[in-house]
Amino acid sequence: MLARTLLSIVTASAVALSPAAAGPALLFDAGDGKVLYAEDQDHQWHPASLTKIMTALLVFEAIREGKVTLETKIGCSELAHSQPPSKVGLPVGAEMTVEVALQALILKSANDVAVMLAEAVAGTHEAFVARMNATAQRLGMTRTVFANANGLPAPEQVTTARDLAKLTQAVLRDHSGYANMWAMVEMRVGKRRLRSHNALLNNYDGADGIKTGFICDSGFNIVASASRDGRRLVAVVLGEVTGRERSTRAANLLEHGFQAHGWKSMFGMESLDNLPVAADAKGVVSIRHAVVSWACGTGRRKVLARTKRKRPQAVAAKAGAAGPQKPDHGSPAVKTKAGVEAPQGQDKGAAAAKAKAKPKGEKTSATAP
């Protein structure tokens, strides 16, 4: 009877956690690194703004070593100012404290602030990137290469679900004093209100961090953590085609973990370090063609396709008899998942229109709502 019950749970979990064409994913216990679920965990992927987890880690280490403090003011250089959105948008020479910069880095996923912090900690952005790669090797992130501090598109910038799990475990374990930053849902910078892109913080029981990421080539990525009954689990999800699917898959993984942790522990679980490296681990690929995003030039095509499916000939004939009608722009759910961040105060429709106006191939936000 027990075996039959466990088989039912395993089968249901496999169906729920392995949608068609899903990207790499990994679920682990933040306390001991035990792996509860892994799929293509060693396939390389573009991290997008999950890169900023490493950027934050190095800033936390610099604070611990006394090189900077949370009150230290850092300036906006020409290089920082030139970074594309998502960004705070400070003018050259403007300053903010390290504390505010860290909050903007994590919550807003500000690309300009990532460069500001990098220059403050290492002197130059290039020196900071070298430190990122050295730290990755120290943490055992053997299939990771960093090329910048913010995750903006770079062909050589790659990682894996396993490597991101190792990085996240180190951040949560060694710098637990900053847990509140990963859990923030909004903040203010001057008169601007900035909101987190991590939807689980508002709609998943126990969610407490940590970071989202998006570029067209990577799709929608997330590292999400949640705690229940003294146990903290972390889900790494890479390559979902919409922000909604990213959140749904992460929530499903976490729920699977909380439900199955007890019986899985009866059979023993492998850890992040001793889980065998997949013999068929692949190099990085682009999923730009599959992503549903105005920023990638794919939002309109998907919306039109859905609109045509939903409008049978009878409806079209009725509309023609009634005279000219306003065009149907498709499902709001699709449009609001565009891979571009609206300036605070700008509505989502305006953000989608702005994304539509961008030329194809233009570099866009490293994170998405």
Residues designated as active site? 49, 52, 109
Length of the chain, in residues = 369
Distance CA 288, CA 216 (A): 5
**Angle, CA of 99, 102 and 104, to the nearest 5°:** 110
SS in 3 state form for 47-86?
A: CHHHHHHHHHHHHHHHHHCCCCCCCCEEECCHHHHCCCCC
Report how far apart, in Å, the C-alpha atoms of 46 and of each of 36, 214, 335 are: 23, 9, 24
At position 75, the amino acid (one-letter code) is: G
Q: Left if phi > 0, otherwise alpha if psi is -120 to 50, otherwise beta: which for 361?
A: left
Q: What does the block give as tokens for 174?
A: 């060694």
Distance CA 337, CA 362 (A): 18
Nearest to 197 by CA among 108, 124, 261: 108
Positive or negative torsion for Cα 114, 32, 235, 204: negative
**Angle, CA of 342, 344 and 346, to the nearest 5°:** 60
Q: What are the residue ranges of helices labelled H in the chain?
A: 2-17, 51-64, 78-81, 98-103, 111-122, 125-138, 161-174, 179-182, 200-203, 243-266, 299-310, 313-321, 332-335, 348-357
